[in-house]
Amino acid sequence: AQKITQTQPGMFVQEKEAVTLDCTYDTSDPSYGLFWYKQPSSGEMIFLIYQGSYDQQNATEGRYSLNFQKARKSANLVISASQLGDSAMYFCAMREGQGDYKLSFGAGTTVTVRA
Amino acid sequence: DTGVSQNPRHKITKRGQNVTFRCDPISEHNRLYWYRQTLGQGPEFLTYFQNEAQLEKSRLLSDRFSAERPKGSFSTLEIQRTEQGDSAMYLCASSPRAGRTHTQYFGPGTRLTVL
Nearest CB to A101; choose among B35, B95, B111? B95
Q: Do B31 and A101 touch (CB under 8 A)?
A: yes
Q: Do A43 and B31 touch (CB under 8 A)?
A: no
Q: Are B39 and B17 in contact (CB under 8 A)?
A: no
Q: What is the residue type of A37?
A: Y
CA distances from B36 to A42, B8, B77, B104 (A): 16, 15, 11, 15
Tell me the residue length of chain A.
115
N-terminal to C-terminal alpha carbon distance within chain A? 39
Instruction: For residue A82, give the 3-state DSSP assignment.
Output: coil
Question: How do the pLDDT tens digits run along chain B, 115 residues long?
Answer: 589 999 999 999 999 999 999 999 999 899 999 999 999 899 999 999 999 999 999 988 889 999 999 988 999 999 999 999 999 999 999 999 888 888 999 999 999 999 9
